[in-house]
Homo-oligomer: A and B are copies of this chain.
Amino acid sequence: MILSNPMFDVIKGDLEVLEEELLAAVAAPVELVTEVGTHLVQSGGKRLRPALCLLAARSGPQFDLQHTLPLALAFELIHMASLVHDDVLDESDTRRGAPTANAKWGNQVAILSGDYIFARAFDLIAHQEYGSHVSARLAQLVCNLSLGEIVQDSAVYQASQGEADYLDRIQKKTADFLEICCELGAEIGGLPGADQQKLAEYGHCIGMAFQLTDDVLDIVQTTETLGKPAGNDIRQGIVTLPVIRALAVSPAAEELTAVVTDPEMTAEQVERALAIVRATDGVDFAMSKADAYLKRAKAALPQGLPEGIYEAYVMVADFIGDRDF
């Protein structure tokens, strides 16, 4: 859990308050919905989005925790709601070792609870004096997350995707989200426009790196360390950069194509595909992209940040480049 990671020591107190407020935010007048929300909050998660928002807000001269919290909460609620819907779409039974909402309560409750949590995010924001452009950005974020997911779903089991398709997809899925967390956090913290843009660039770059490393983890980790079956992306037909690279350079490219384009692939075929990808430089190729993004992220950081904040940003970047390999 990111909460216990030293990189967020500087906002540790903020994140503790956030955790309590998250529970309050998912409380509903219908007990079942409160139960679902509480389960989702207590199943954990990295809280990377609200943490970046808080860090960005603390970077500015006008930081005010009470003023920042609703925005940070809204980001986590939107993330949570989209995961709930994703788990319905993917028919997933577990997430982070805990049963998913659809596994525990069925698709009906999961879809409607997701809708409820999305709307709670907009409700929280509307009660603040952030200006209507903040609501607009959040609405566009939800639009883009949905579009990104649809694009991803419509491209499954296709071996013809190139690196550009992949990068575009992970930008919509992850990088745009982390970018807006940093950018709006910085705005609310009162940073000047140029510094808001620098932090937006930082968020974009660590978002790209985060998804790249996430996709690499799915290739290099074993089922045990991952807490979910390895090769999950391949099984779901999601073609990630290490696979795209392997399809271009592996002598066994033809065999790999046959597996990743087959919705009926067996567990043995997934293992074989993983072995083919691991035998190429696909993982190194993706990691070198991730490292380049992390370098860009650090270079984008504004000057003159408050004590401890610059170091925290650097630690976040290093953490992403260094996750569990």
Contact surface of A with B, Cβ cutoff 8 Å: 28-30, 32-33, 82, 85, 88-89, 107-109, 111-116, 118-120, 122-123, 125-129, 132-133, 135-136, 138-140, 142-143, 145-147, 149-151, 153-154
Contact = CB atoms under 8 A, between A and B. Distances in A.
B150 A30 contact: yes
Given A107-B89, A111-B85, A146 B119 contact: yes
Determine the main DSSP class of A at the interface with B: helix
A142 B115 CA distance: 8
Nearest to A137: B126
A136 B132 contact: no
Given A122-B122, A127-B132, A139-B126, A116 B30 contact: no
The 7 lowest CB-CB distance pairs between A and B, nearest first, are A126-B136, A119-B142, A123-B139, A126-B135, A122-B139, A116-B146, A115-B146
Contacts of A128: 132
A114 B145 CA distance: 12
B126 A133 contact: yes
B129 A132 contact: yes
Given A122-B122, A126-B136, A126-B139, A151 B89 contact: no
A111 B111 contact: yes
Contacts of A118: 115, 118-119, 142
Contacts of A119: 118, 139-140, 142-143, 146
A101 to B, nearest CB: 12
Interface centre among A88, A115, A140 (most CB of B within 10 A): A115
Contact of A120 (B122, B129, B143): B143
A41 to B, nearest CB: 17
Contacts of A32: 150, 154
Nearest to A147: B30
A125 B28 CA distance: 24
Given A88-B111, A111-B89, A150-B32, A143 B116 contact: yes
A82 B114 CA distance: 12
A112 B149 contact: yes
